[in-house]
Amino acid sequence: MFTWNSSKQRETMEFWKKYITLCELVSLDNSLFQVKEATKDFASLFEKATYLKVPSSWLSTMLAVGFYSKANGIARTLCETILELPSHSMGWLQEEIRSSVNTASFFIGMIFVDHTCAKEHGFLTCYQKHFCLSP
């Protein structure tokens, strides 16, 4: 679904501009440092998405772009950045998990994209702790 709330025109426009900027960030080769620094931006984007009722598929698309990026270290850094976010910022994932068959590949990308990351956090812990869900 694509939604556009005209009564929140300005906020919606700002949301999409930020979305495009962050998409560009996770798909560029030389943006490792910026991705590390963008934790707050991701958190605020995710929270705004819930507030504006933006379909969660757009958010998982953005993360998938980063997870499958061939640029060195982006996937791992993005993974670490997302795992640092408070759980309420990731509430949209519940909708995505319920609705999408992309869930499996999404989590494989997210948790197992890097062995060190997977070892450090562990799949079950991450799943339960960060997404408030039973596996």
Partner 1 sequence: MSSRHDNVVNVVLSYPELNLVSSLLEVLLEELARFICAASAKVDRLDDDDLALPQKSFELLQSYGYSNLLNTRAEKTTGRHYSEIDDMMDIDSVVASKENVLNLLKFCHLLFFRLDENGSTKSQQDKTIQLIRMDGQKILTFIMLLSTVLNEQVSQEALRIVRQTSSVLIKCSKLPSSKQSLATSVEDETRDFTRIIDSLYWQQICILFDISQSQEAAKHKETAFILWLGWMSLHVHYQPVMMDLLKRESYWAHLQSGLRHGSSERRKVCLYILLRSITIIDQPITNGYVFRKFRQECLES
Q: Using CB under 8 A as the criterion, which residues of the chain lie in contact with partner 1 when the complex forms?
A: 1-6, 12-13, 16-17, 20, 23-24, 27, 55, 57-58, 61, 64-65, 99-102
Q: In angstroms, what is the minimal distance from the CB of 119 to partner 1? A: 28
Q: In angstroms, what is the minimal distance from the CB of 90 to partner 1? A: 18
Question: Tokens 């590949």 map to which residue?
Answer: 105
Q: Which is nearer to partner 1, 26 or 90 (CB)?
A: 26
Q: What is the CA radius of gyration of the chain?
A: 14
CA nearest neighbour of 75 among 48, 115, 120: 115
- Report in angstroms the alpha-carbon separations of 131 from 6, 75, 79: 31, 19, 14
CA nearest neighbour of 67 among 77, 56, 54: 77
Q: In angstroms, what is the minimal distance from the CB of 44 to partner 1? A: 18
Q: Which is nearer to partner 1, 55 or 91 (CB)?
A: 55
Q: Which is nearer to partner 1, 1 or 115 (CB)?
A: 1
Q: In angstroms, what is the minimal distance from the CB of 129 to partner 1? A: 25
Q: Which is nearer to partner 1, 9 or 125 (CB)?
A: 9
Give 113's DSSP letter: S
Give me the sign of the Cα torsion angle 119, 27, 37, 22.
negative
The structure tokens listed for 15 are: 């949301």
